[in-house]
Structure 1
Amino acid sequence: MGWLKKILLSQKSHEQAKSTNHELLALGEDASPLSKDFQQNKIEIEKAFKNAADFRMEKVHIGKEEGLICYLSSMTDSSLLAEQIMKPLSVSAQQERSISNLKEFEAFRKEFFSGVVYQFRDTIHELIADVLAGYAVTIINGQTKTLSLQVGNIKYRSIEEPSTQTVIRGPKEGFTESMDTNISLLRRRIQNPYLKFETTIVGKDTRTPITIAYIDGVINEGILEEVKKRVNKISTHAIFDSGNIEEYITDKSLTLFPLIYNTERPDSAAANLLEGKAALIVNGSPFVLIVPTVFVDFFEATEDYYHSFFIGSFIRLIRYAAFMVALILPSLYVAITAFHHELVPSDLLFSLQAQREGVPFPAVIELLIMEVTFEILREAGIRMPRAVGQTISIVGALVIGQAAVEAGLVSNALVIVIALTALATFVSPIASFTISARLLRFLFVFMAAVFGLYGILLALFFMVAHLVSLRSFGVPYLAPVAPFIVEDQEDVFVRLLSWANQRRPHYLKTESPLKHPNSDSPSPPTDKGDEES
């Protein structure tokens, strides 16, 4: 792997700088301050938006002063612009007032735009960025500052049920592509003044806002600083989804396992914030990133806490078992069929050999044919239109499986193994985690074909050793299993009663370790007759 590291390091020959406004300058943009020369500012703005059909620049009068208002018709609401901006400006034009300094400019804003979100800007670069973000920018002759007023008209998808995390019991609201909407969904669930949101801009071309959410006084300060540091060091030209962020902030480890948890569910993100983690909200993405992440997070679902603890614990154990089935069942079939016949009862062994009598391929080739075929069907079902995608997957698997058996290419037992493996793969509540099992399965099959059961044990050994070596923002990936933390075992393989789970995870080293120290199990009411006796 040394050669791959050299390539990655050679591509990063200089130290990444913090994503300041200057660093985010696009090609041809000017970071110089605004000029007092009204015409010079006008020329610079027109140059920046040359050939932009949706750009508008209109002359206005503010008292005795001449001014300009600049905006993009595609990014602003025409009714809001007319009501909140143009109408007050027409009223101000009838007044005999002068604006010669920032104090008078601020007084003018308070009088005419008191209910509008605003920002004062003093560079051409910031002015252009505000216009692109859906602001109407007001420029006054002789002033070196501009007033940006928010009248955005960006349409977003309405709040719907999450598409990748099916909800059986619990809130059916899912995150959307609007960062403001996503923040409000978290605010509604955590009405705590210590819930903080810090926003930074990433991407020279896309200028994508990224918000870091955390609960002050709960999250470990070292973890929070590390999250901020990694986000601020991102140097790229474009961010379109939270998935683009993952590779820039994840620990430098070449691994198949996801080191960052993503979710579409606001209740899941809120629960993780209360545990002492941070959430990254990317504008334009319905997937919120949760950091730091440990291995056991991918076997837990928020619904576990909405059912009784018996049902929640049972379902969680099923997930662990399904992961192992998805990982090693095909390799076990290859190892037993090719090497370890003595592990199979005689009757079953005779049946398996009879089924494979007409199959022209060894067990490993037979299995790889079916695995690759099923992966193609799975991908086709995802990419096809939804009306026919599920039908293609089911019918394709049935038809191809049956035809392959009748043609003598594979055995009936192998079709059962592949079907069970596929079902077990879909048990994980996080889709990104299932990819790890799907890819590692091929490695296990190869090791089983060469070394039998010893190869499977060897692959498991190296996999566990690799997991132990991983870190997520400095937190051991296998915590609280390795290192083993006794106090945290109450919510790993099974979950205890909610009132008994009083502490936040030790491995997060939170500022406030206790969640609800005074909670206790409710006792049944005492019978009055018993009290009298």
Structure 2
Amino acid sequence: MAADPVEAQQAPESFRERMTNVDAAAIWNERLNKYRNTFVQSADFRINQFRLGNKECAVLWFASMADQAVLSDKLQHAMDNFFQQKEELQDNLTLEELCNRAMPGAGCAVERDQSRLIDECLRGKAILLIDGLEGGICIGVVNSNTYRQVEEPSTQTIIKGPKEGFTESIDINLGLVRRRITHPGLCFEKFVLGSDTSTTVYLAFIQGIVNPGILEEARKRLAKAKPNALFDSGMLEDYIVDKTLTPFPLIYTTERPDGVCGHLVSGKAAILVDGSPFVLTIPTVFSDFFQSSEDYYQPFLISTFVRFIRYLSFLIALLFPAIYISAITYHMELIPTELLFTISSQRENLPFPVFVEAMLMEITFEILREAGVRMPRAVGPTVSIVGGLVIGTAAVEAGIVSNIMVIIVALTAISSFVSPIYNLSVSSRLLRFGLLTLGALAGFYGVMMGMMVMIGHMCSIRSFGVPYTAPFGPLNIKDHEDILLRFPLWLLKKRPAYLQSPSPVKQPDAHNPSPPKKKKGGQRP
């Protein structure tokens, strides 16, 4: 019904003020209804309305993610500060002033865009809206109980060194890196990926150390990645990796903060994904998968010996069954006579050829390995160990496989676990079946042809522009100080040449810690 003009003329100021208040209230309610309609079917969505001075306010949050006690404390603290300064803020109140004066140190940020406010609310923050002011204030009140606390890594355990591992909280992960590297050039660039999940991704690097070309390539690939959902860093690999049709991992994955920090100071970049305890480091070369953080916490002689063991174990896991099948099928003259008689006597009454025997045992062990991983932790190791013993013993007694085949498969399986990075052990398992088949078809010739094709493939692939086989190919002798061998730390003065870092020297003042040699007179200089 239209307003009476006579009434408007008799009391113009009162009428205008009343209509203004009605319009403001309608706008305020409409603003809140937009959020209510967005989360109308979310039972854990909360809206709490109150007055702050002469302003209508509302707090929006998700009870399943926000900490109610922290939220109450921060709001109470803000209201107390506001009433103490209301003379300054009442006439000309802004969101920035409220953050700076009434909520100092509360982890707040002003956001103007409504869609960004919704995203921040979905990430567990509380949103403070004030009538008459555009946008809102994001208050950090995420419940820490929704995240796993810092624990020892489960996939990369070490004996000597830090026991901390990344968690599913991106803020905790950034803090673990920032605490170890206090370099002012350490930067974290933020990306939001996933049309349905809006997952936060950070690109970490040290300005002045990382190659700008590698950094720019990483930015381009992250910008081009358009997944609909992103839950783990492993999903991101398929969108940014150089070549997907390869059995070799082209991106280094780790859950150890010290490993990531070591790569950053060497001139590499890291990619952290919210919700994932595994961090990606780029670029990656083949030799990275034989190095562990513990190598730098042990004496260099021990570390060098352990690295040789890793390379040897990789070759055993890759070639041992193929070499055995080739020797038994085509090259028996290479086997010592006594050993040949032993193997022949064991295989005398076996119903299957050696290739079928090896495939049966390899597939059986892969099934046991997968079952042990998927079973509950309380029974998983028991199933793997007992299953292997029982099935292996029963298969030998039943005359299906020979004792020597059980030994070969067991040694091959154990060798595949030596790799400090799980991704490489998966690659060796996959390649082993191919080489095993080539050995059965053409003996050592087939195995050598398979190895040549594998090495040629490795030389053809790159990781963010860096040759995968560096520093073996192209050969760089200086980089071999920390590849097959691990020289003393004071000798490792330069960063890897294949990274082409703007700052190639990382420790120019390092020197031999041994006492200086005596002079001819018998006194030290």
Give the TM-score normalised by the residue count of structure 1: 0.89
* Aligned counterpart, 2:7: none
Secondary structure at the residue paired with 1:168? coil
* Aligned counterpart, 1:38: 28
Distance 1:303 1:478 in 2: 23
Cα displacement (A) at 1:105: 3.0
Please list, as runs of the form range in 1=range in 2, the aligned pairs for 1:8-23 lying within 5 A after superposition. Answer: none
Q: Which letter does structure 1 place at the counterpart of 2:388?
A: A
Change (3 A) 1:36 1:470: farther
Maintained 8 Å contact 1:70/1:138: yes
2:505 corresponds to 1:514: yes
2:150 corresponds to 1:159: yes
| Aligned equivalent of 2:50, options 53, 57, 60 | 60
Change (3 A) 1:54 1:253: closer
Distance 2:328 2:235 in 1: 43
Distance 1:100 1:462 in 2: 77
| Aligned equivalent of 1:230, options 209, 216, 221 | 221
2:95 corresponds to 1:105: yes
Distance 1:411 1:100 in 2: 91
Between structure 1 and structure 2, the one with the greater Rg is 2
Distance 1:98 1:274 in 2: 47
Please list, as runs of the form range in 1=range in 2, the aligned pairs for 1:364-375 lying within 5 A after superposition. Answer: 364-375=355-366
| Aligned equivalent of 1:422, options 413, 422, 429 | 413
Shifted more, 256-265 versus 103-112: the winner is 103-112
* Aligned counterpart, 1:531: 523
Q: Which letter does structure 2 place at the counterpart of 1:142?
A: G
Cα displacement (A) at 1:531: 2.5
* Aligned counterpart, 1:148: 138
Shifted more, 212-221 versus 80-89: the winner is 80-89
Please list, as runs of the form range in 1=range in 2, the aligned pairs for 1:462-501 lying within 5 A after superposition. Answer: 462-501=453-492
| Aligned equivalent of 1:82, options 72, 75, 82 | 72
Distance 1:365 1:302 in 2: 40
* Aligned counterpart, 2:395: 404
2:120 corresponds to 1:130: yes
2:381 corresponds to 1:390: yes
Secondary structure at the residue paired with 2:490? coil
Maintained 8 Å contact 2:109/2:137: yes
* Aligned counterpart, 2:3: none
Cα displacement (A) at 1:518: 2.2
Secondary structure at the residue paired with 1:524? coil
2:189 corresponds to 1:198: yes
Maintained 8 Å contact 1:64/1:98: no
| Aligned equivalent of 1:343, options 326, 331, 334 | 334
Distance 2:142 2:423 in 1: 34
Shifted more, 423-432 versus 305-314: the winner is 305-314
Distance 2:505 2:385 in 1: 48
Cα displacement (A) at 1:45: 0.8
Cα displacement (A) at 1:471: 0.6
Shifted more, 523-532 versus 79-88: the winner is 523-532
Shifted more, 504-513 versus 177-186: the winner is 177-186
Cα displacement (A) at 1:92: 4.2
2:427 corresponds to 1:436: yes
Secondary structure at the residue paired with 2:94? helix
* Aligned counterpart, 2:199: 208
Please list, as runs of the form range in 1=range in 2, the aligned pairs for 1:288-299 lying within 5 A after superposition. Answer: 288-299=279-290
Aligned residues: 498
Cα displacement (A) at 1:395: 1.3
Q: Which letter does structure 2 place at the counterpart of 1:109?
A: C
Any stretches of 5+ residues in structure 1 without a counterpart? Answer: 1-34
Q: Which letter does structure 2 place at the counterpart of 1:438?
A: R
Secondary structure at the residue paired with 1:452? helix
* Aligned counterpart, 1:376: 367
Secondary structure at the residue paired with 1:37? helix
Alpha-carbon displacement from aligned partner over 1:65-117 (angstroms, at most 9, x marks no partner): 2222211122211111111114533774795777676x733223322111112
Secondary structure at the residue paired with 2:150? coil
2:254 corresponds to 1:280: no
* Aligned counterpart, 1:6: none
Secondary structure at the residue paired with 1:293? coil
Distance 1:356 1:396 in 2: 23
Q: Which letter does structure 2 place at the counterpart of 1:518?
A: D
Distance 1:191 1:121 in 2: 29
Distance 2:95 2:340 in 1: 89
Cα displacement (A) at 1:204: 2.2
* Aligned counterpart, 1:245: 236
Distance 1:294 1:358 in 2: 47
Maintained 8 Å contact 2:517/2:524: no
Distance 2:486 2:471 in 1: 14
Distance 2:342 2:329 in 1: 15
Distance 2:262 2:38 in 1: 45
Shifted more, 342-351 versus 289-298: the winner is 342-351
Shifted more, 141-150 versus 466-475: the winner is 141-150
* Aligned counterpart, 1:117: 107
